Amino acid sequence: MFKAISSLRKSLVLPLHSNIRTLQTFSKYNAQAASALREKPLYQDEEYADVDWDNLGFGLTPADYMYVMKCSKDGEFTQGEISRFGNIQLSPSAGAIYEGTKAYRKENGKLLLFRPDHNAVRMQLGAERMLMPSPSVDQFVDAVKQTAYANKRWVPPSGKGSLYIRPLLMGSGPILGLGPSPEYTFIVYASPVGNYFKEGIAALNLYVEEEYVRAAPGGAGGVKSITNYAPVLKALSRAKSRGFSDVLYLDSVKKKYLEEASSCNVFVVKGRTISTPATNGTILEGVTRKSVMEIASDQGYEVVEKSVHVDEVMDADEVFCTGTAVGVAPVGTITYQDKRVEYETGDESVCQKLRSVLVGIQTGSIEDTKGWVTCIN
């Protein structure tokens, strides 16, 4: 009997000891992870990270470091710092707006940023709409520079892609009722990326959506926040299941005027005139959009911001999309109701001419006479 009881006690105690050891190991790992986030980072010496640059897609491949900066409800941001990429402590009742910009590598290895100050201003405008404090332009740009430099080995070789940089502003303090957060956190992280669309630089096939709308007058369609993008997911998923690249959305009132695609602005070419929907609060004011408009004007095109009727789109010579993620992407076909229209594409297209100039400036192969590019090393 004594031996049986002794054996039973051992069978109960051993698993307990094992679980305790497991918990101790887990706690030690968490403590090390937390310590790693607090420690001043030592940047990697390798020129490049271990990445297959030739097959780089547009997905999250976390680079080494991110930038974190806190703000109390008084609206003053503390001094931010670079830390190892990792999870953060966050209240479950948090919300966010975000930006997207890129770092490019020149042939000589130097890193370039493209108009990050414009992303900073757009975040400020979005934060004002959402009643949030926001970093100053200098704070924003400095954070982006630090993040890009800290992750320089993750910037693809010239022509192989870019380092996508995601500045994120979120309410991180707890709140139950409807009102501003008592605390905010600003984070900048990065990921190397290739082409946004699976088609690469091949022409896109778009579908004009008539059931769902992306934004409404007086809403947050002009703000780069999750409230701007979540509404497109259902229509986008349905379109992709039917073989389309993306969705073109119409205005929410008459459903006859073009707005934008799920993640990019749209341009319509007819002869020497390039039209794009006006930013009236329902359309995001893209930095790439603005840049392409200026490049097109420099090349002698008449660039018009206006309400673009869907019939004009179906009668256009060319259609193309612009955005930080997508760059300048040609549209091969658009399907509206029971009609499918094909558009001009190729090396001699307006889209390709504008894209060549934009990419040349971004990557340093064309002289930047506009002051758009910032060299960070």
Is 50 exceeded by the pLDDT of residue 25? no
Q: Does residue 330 form part of some domain?
A: yes
Q: Let me know whether 148 and 242 are in one domain.
A: no
CA distance 243 to 235: 13
Bigger pLDDT: 359 or 230? Answer: 359
Tokens of 308: 């673009």
**Residue 366 φ then ψ, to 5°:** -120, 135
| pLDDT of res. 257 | 97
pLDDT digits (tens, 9 = 90+) for 261-309: 998 999 999 999 999 999 989 999 999 999 999 999 999 999 999 999 9
The answer on 218 and 171 residing in a single domain is no
- Can you give the pLDDT at residue 19? 40
CATH number at residue 232: 3.20.10.10
CB 38 within 8 A of CB 160: no
Residue 19 covered by a domain: no
**What is the distance in angstroms between the CA of the first residue and the CA of the last residue of the chain?**
77
**Confidence class of residue 12 from pLDDT cuts 50, 70 and 90?**
very low
Domain finish residue from 169, 193, 217: 193
Per the model's pLDDT, the better-predicted residue between 279 and 200 turns out to be 279
Q: What's the pLDDT score for residue 42?
A: 60
Task: Name the residue range of residue 321's domain.
Answer: 204-367
Summarize the confidence of residues 93-102 as an average pLDDT. Answer: 82
pLDDT digits (tens, 9 = 90+) for 153-183: 999 999 899 999 999 999 888 777 888 888 8
pLDDT (0 to 100) of residue 36: 42
Residue 112 sits in the same domain as residue 209:
no
The total of structural domains in the chain comes to: 2
- The pLDDT assigned to 24 comes to 41
Mean pLDDT of the 45-73 span: 89
140 domain residue, yes or no: yes
In a domain, 320, yes or no: yes
Catalytic annotation, residues:
224
Q: Strand 111-114 vs strand 101-105: parallel, antiparallel, or unpaired?
A: antiparallel
Looking at the fold, whether 321 and 290 belong to one and the same domain comes out as yes
pLDDT at position 199, please? 65
Whether 154 and 221 map to the same domain: the answer is no
Given this model, what pLDDT does residue 89 score? 77
Return the exposure string of 142-178: e unless at least 16 CB atoms fall within 10 Å of the residue's CB, then b: bbbbbbbbbbbbbbbebebbbbbbbbbbbbbbeeeee
pTM comes to 0.81
How confident is the model at residue 18, as a pLDDT? Answer: 39
**Residue 4 pLDDT greater than 50, yes or no:** no
On whether residue 376 sits in a domain, the answer given is: no
